[in-house]
Amino acid sequence: MNGAVAFVLKGYPRLSETFIAQEIRALEKRGLDIRLYSLRHPTEKERHPVHGEIAAPVVYLPEYLHHEPARVARAWRALRHAPGYAAARRCWLKDLRRERSRNRVRRFGQALVLAHELAPDITHLHAHFLHTPASVTRYAALLRGLRWSCSAHAKDIWTSPRWEKSEKLAECAWAVTCTRANFDHLSALAPDGRVQLTYHGLDLTRFPPPPTARAARDGTAAKDPVIILSVGRAVEKKGHDDLLAALARLPDRLQWRFELIGGGPLQGRLKAQAERLGVARRCIFHGPVAQAAVLDAYRRADLFALMSRQAADGDRDGLPNVLMEAQSQALAVMATEISAIPELITTERNGVLVAPGDIDGAAAALERLIADAALRDRLGNAGRRVVHEQFSLEPCIESLARRFGLAAAAAA
């Protein structure tokens, strides 16, 4: 691809979006000239090491238009007579009639600033997420007469209206998505061949094998409990409340400790639930932490658990990267059979799956896994093999690199 590419992100950097950061870095290493444009400023102090390795400069667009009215006005004055302005405005007004919201107004203002401030050598725009970032990218591409593409992930797919997904997929040059479930859904809405399946993969250089074997804990020693770990934001779709409920149903004879890593709006509610269920003394809520601390937690843990489910607004996980991260450390996994999780985990082969919301089933699976160190060892080692053979970053990134015209560089 001749010229630089603008990546439009909802927020940057974000601890919960390591998969985006590792993709950006991998494409940079293959020679892609990337410039980052973020719709929001970071809200977390911690950063992953990969964020420090990314060379791309970051421009922060106005998070709220009334915070930088002069910047928005400058962009409008510069672009109102541009060849693409009328088409962009028509597109936006059509969207606004179907979704009358301040957010929709903000998207057009951000698109004006993006289009006005794009570096002159940028020839292509790429949005991460099919909802807000793709809207801003779409309007800006019309304003500047540029091609654009999109990576679709999870919430952006399942909470966006059908009409919006169909129109964006019809207009973009190409789109990629990270799971077979997503691919099947989006392909039915798009022109033939427009959507491509590209798993994120895991950068295994950042997740080397654990240096020592795990102790064979079996839940009988009060001073050496089985450590159950979960990593994920405290939001409805992660099902952390279901997991706490399952933990509360474990027999009193089992000795365990639960650790949760991740920030999010439901953190306080989860702590209160743990108190009500009588398991708070066994639970540690770490909040968001950087990747080195997450890796250390995987290596300390005996078992990883995630009870993903569909949220009330339709939001759901795609293929949570934390499952691949946990399995890269030969950590046995219990998860739910939803979305693309069965694309990674086959129950009883390299993990244990239960139905979403099945608290009794999860409690039974946890009881079995806590008590059986040999089973955990077998499932964990099988999971590590699957990740290395099918979900390594290097082969997964190649199809995306070709989309950006980097096949020759990759081959070299």
Reduce the secondary structure of 268-294 to three states and give it as a string: HHHHHHHHHHCCHHHEEEEECCCHHHH
In contact, 191 and 208? CB cutoff 8 Å: no
Are 240 and 100 part of one and the same domain? Answer: no
Same domain for 385 and 401, yes or no, is no
Domain span holding position 307: 226-390
Q: 307 lies in a domain?
A: yes
CATH assignment at residue 339: 3.40.50.2000
Same structural domain for residues 166 and 260? no
Q: Residue 324 and residue 388: Cα distance in Å, rounded? A: 9
Position 409 scores a pLDDT of: 45
Is 219 within a domain?
no
58 and 186 inside one domain:
yes
Q: Give how many domains the chain has, as a whole number.
A: 2
40: which 2 tokens?
A: 């929001």
SS3 (DSSP) at 1: coil
Any domain includes 246: yes
Instruction: Give the per-residue pLDDT at 44.
Output: 85
Distance CA 289, CA 377 (A): 27
Same domain (yes/no): 70, 178 = yes
* Amino acid sitting at position 9: L
* Same structural domain, 43 and 187: yes
Integer angstrom CA distances of residue 128 from 18, 181, 313, 322, 387: 13, 18, 21, 19, 24
Residue 207 located in a structural domain: no
Instruction: With beta carbons less than 8 A apart as the criterion, state whether 4 and 123 touch.
Output: yes
Q: Are 28 and 52 in contact (CB under 8 A)?
A: no
- Helices (DSSP H) in 254-372: which residue ranges? 267-277, 291-300, 321-328, 341-344, 359-371
Please indicate, yes or no, if residue 384 is contained in any of the structural domains. Answer: yes
pLDDT by residue, tens only, the chain of 412 residues: 679 999 999 999 998 898 999 999 999 999 999 999 999 999 888 898 999 999 999 999 999 999 999 999 999 999 999 999 999 999 999 999 999 999 999 999 999 999 999 999 999 999 999 999 999 999 999 999 999 999 999 999 999 999 999 999 999 999 999 999 999 999 999 999 999 999 989 999 999 999 889 999 999 999 999 999 999 999 999 999 999 999 999 999 999 999 999 999 999 999 999 999 999 999 999 999 999 999 999 999 999 999 999 999 999 998 999 999 999 999 999 999 999 999 999 999 999 999 999 999 999 999 999 999 999 999 999 999 999 999 999 888 998 999 999 864 444 3
Q: Are 382 and 398 found together in one domain?
A: no
Q: What tokens does 24 get?
A: 């950006």
CB 316 within 8 A of CB 310: yes
Residue 39 is assigned to a structural domain of this protein: yes
251 is written with which tokens? 């027999």
pLDDT reported for residue 16: 86
Which pLDDT score, from 0 to 100, does residue 407 have? Answer: 67
Residue 159 lies in a domain: yes
Q: Is residue 283 part of a domain?
A: yes
What is the pLDDT, as a whole number, of residue 217?
96
Same domain, 345 and 400: no
DSSP, residue by residue, 98-118: HS-SHHHHHHHHHHHHHHHH-
Residue 406 and residue 375 share a domain: no
158 with 295, same domain? no
As a whole number of angstroms, the distance between CA 137 and CA 147 comes to: 10
Q: Are residues 241 and 160 in the same domain?
A: no
Residue 395's pLDDT is 87
List strands edge to edge, sheet with 4-9: 58-60, 34-38, 4-9, 122-128, 147-152, 174-177, 195-197
**What H or E segment, with its residue span, contains residue 245?**
helix 240-248
d(CA 250, CA 153): 34
| Whether residue 178 is found in the same domain as residue 32 | yes
CB atoms within 10 A of CB 81: 8
